[in-house]
Amino acid sequence: MNFQIEQAVEILSQTPAVLNSLLGNLSGDWTKSDENSDGWSPFDVVGHFIHGEETDWIPRAEIILAQGENPTFEPFDRFAQFEKSKGKTLGELLETFADLRRKNLERLRQMKLTPDQLKLKGIHPELGEVNLEQLLATWVVHDLTHIRQIVTVLAHKYSENVGVWKEYLSILK
Amino acid sequence: MNFQIEQAVEILSQTPAVLNSLLGNLSGDWTKSDENSDGWSPFDVVGHFIHGEETDWIPRAEIILAQGENPTFEPFDRFAQFEKSKGKTLGELLETFADLRRKNLERLRQMKLTPDQLKLKGIHPELGEVNLEQLLATWVVHDLTHIRQIVTVLAHKYSENVGVWKEYLSILK
CA-nearest residue to B1 within chain A is A157
Contacts of A123 (CB under 8 A, 6+ apart): A70, A71, A72, A73, A129, A130
B37 contacts chain A (CB < 8 A): no
List pLDDT tens digits, range B87-99: 899 999 999 999 9
Selection from A57, A136, A62, A151 nearest residue A100 by Cα = A57
- Nearest Cα to B21, choosing from A80, A98, A104? A98
Longest dimension (CA), chain B: 60
Q: Read off the pLDDT band of B75 (50, 70, 90).
A: confident
Asked if the C-beta of B119 comes within 8 angstroms of chain A's C-beta atoms, the answer is no
Kindly state the average pLDDT of the residues B159-173: 95
A124 touches chain B (CB under 8 A): yes
Q: Report pLDDT for B80.
A: 83
CB pairs A-B closer than 8 Å: 163
Which chain B residues are closer than 8 Å to A129 by Cβ? 164
pLDDT of residue A36: 59
CA nearest to A8, candidates A145, A133, A148: A133
**pLDDT tens figures, A16-68:** 999 999 999 999 999 987 765 668 999 999 999 999 999 999 999 999 999 99
Beta bridge partners of B131: B121
- DSSP calls for B88-135: --HHHHHHHHHHHHHHHHHHHHHH---HHHHT-EEEETTTEEEEHHHH
Q: Burial, A106: exposed, middle or buried (Cβ in 10 Å; 0-12, 13-18, 19+)?
A: exposed
The identity of residue B68, as a single letter, is G
Residue A29 vs residues A32, A40, A60: alpha-carbon distances, Å:
6, 14, 36
Model pLDDT for residues A134-158, shown as the tens digit of each residue = 999 999 999 999 999 999 999 999 9
When CB atoms are compared, the residue of A11, A27, A171 closest to B10 is A27
- Top residue of A12, A138, A170 to mutate, by most chain B CBs within 10 Å, is A138
Picking from A7, A129, A141, the nearest residue to B155 by CB comes out as A141
CB < 8 Å to B22, chain A: 14, 18, 147
Mean pLDDT across A108-127: 97
Query: Cα Rg for chain A, rounded, in angstroms?
Result: 18
**Nearby residues of B2 by Cβ (< 8 Å), 6 or more positions away:** none
pLDDT at residue B51 is higher than 70: yes
Nearest to A171 among B148, B168, B170 (CB): B148
Contacts of A22 in chain B (CB under 8 A): 14, 18, 147
pLDDT at B167: 95
Mean pLDDT computed over every residue of chain B:
94
What dihedral do alpha carbons B6, A26, B97, B30 form, nearest 10°?
A: -160
Assess A121–B contact: CB distance below 8 Å, yes or no. Answer: no
Distance CA B71, CA A72 (A): 65
Residue A34 to chain B, least CA–CA distance (Å): 9
Over its C-alpha atoms, chain B yields an Rg (Å, rounded) of 18
- Cα–Cα distance measured from residue A18 to residue A145, given in angstroms and rounded to the nearest whole number: 13
Which residues from B are below 8 Å from A152, CB to CB?
Answer: 144, 148
Q: Residue A104's closest CA among A47, A145, A52, A42? A: A52
Distance, CA of B44 to chain centre: 11
* A87 backbone φψ class: left, alpha, beta (φ>0; ψ -120 to 50): left
Q: Are B101 and B12 in contact (CB under 8 A)?
A: yes
Q: Identify the pLDDT of residue B78.
A: 80
The model's pLDDT over A55-92, given as tens digits with 9 standing for 90+, comes to 999 999 999 999 999 999 988 888 887 888 888 999 99
Q: In the prediction, which pLDDT does A35 show?
A: 64
Other C-beta atoms lying within 10 Å of the C-beta of residue A113: 17
| Cα B22 from chain centre | 15
Q: What is the pLDDT of residues B113-139, one digit of tens each?
A: 999 999 999 999 999 999 999 999 999
pLDDT of the residue at A82? 80
pTM of the predicted structure, to 2 decimals:
0.95
Q: Are B83 and B47 in contact (CB under 8 A)?
A: no
